[in-house]
Amino acid sequence: MQQTKSKGRRRSRSAAHKPRGQDGPGRTGHHAPRAARPSSAKAEQQPQRREPLPLTNPVLILISAPSGGGKTTVVHQLLAARPDMTRVVTCTTREPRPGEVDGVDYYFLTAASFLKRLQAGNFLEHAIVYGHSYGTLKSEVLGKLRQGKDVLLNVDVQGAATIRERAQQDSELKRALVSVFLTPRSLEILEQRLRRRGTDSEAAIQKRLSVARREIAQWRHFDYLVISDTINEDLRRMQAIVAAEKLRVARAQAPET
């Protein structure tokens, strides 16, 4: 009798020490093996659907200033700071100044060549300034905008007025156009800049100052007014204008879904 009880106790103790989940087929009421959870690394690898962001239509930043107002310097600084922008090269019949390069600063044309392009309807705007013809080619502006490029255009006040007028009949141009007027704080500062440039006679300087007075009076027709300060401050303000205009909801395209 004692031997039988001893064997029963050993069998009971052996069953009590079986690992969980090894109770044999048909057993219930005990812990079943749990399915392995995916690791956090694998979970992070799962692609997550994101809503597409709206695209932004390109902008045409038009900068005007009186002669000596600093627009050429600002244009060069802005292009260096924003290599994604491209500059419109305009046409002129005047002679190149020292250091100017054809096709880079201007397209320097003869009077006959300019007239031929004008008669062919190639210009978006054209004007006679200080006895010389200036013009902006349609292909230089609209061609770049249609490539999705942000465009920078340095043009006189008269040309800016023509482009604004054209934009009223052209939805593509109107959507892209942003006009900025840049001017020194006073005519005295403007005169100092013209004299420091050293390229004009006294009579030419006085003529430029007379024209500048009339041009400065047109500042209200522009979208932005930048009172020229230092080169760095002028650049900072221009960058702020470009950044703000790129974020306008009116320029957004509906994203493809």
- 0.85 exceeded by pTM: no
pLDDT at residue 24, rounded to an integer: 47
Which residue has 């812990």 as its token pair? 31
pLDDT at position 80 over 60:
yes
Among 67, 84, 252, which Cα is nearest to 175's?
252
Name the more confident of 9 and 177. 177
* Angle, alpha carbons 225-231-237 (nearest 5°): 40
Residue 20 CA, distance from chain mean position:
66
CATH number (3.40.50.620, 2.60.120.10, 3.40.50.150, 3.40.50.300) of 55-251 reads 3.40.50.300
The phi, psi pair for 64, rounded to 5°, reads -125, 155
Distance CA 226, CA 219 (A): 10
Domain map (residue ranges) of the chain: 55-251
Distance CA 105, CA 100 (A): 6
Residue 89 CA, distance from chain mean position:
18
* Confidence band of 200 (pLDDT split at 50, 70, 90): confident
pLDDT at residue 49, rounded to an integer: 54
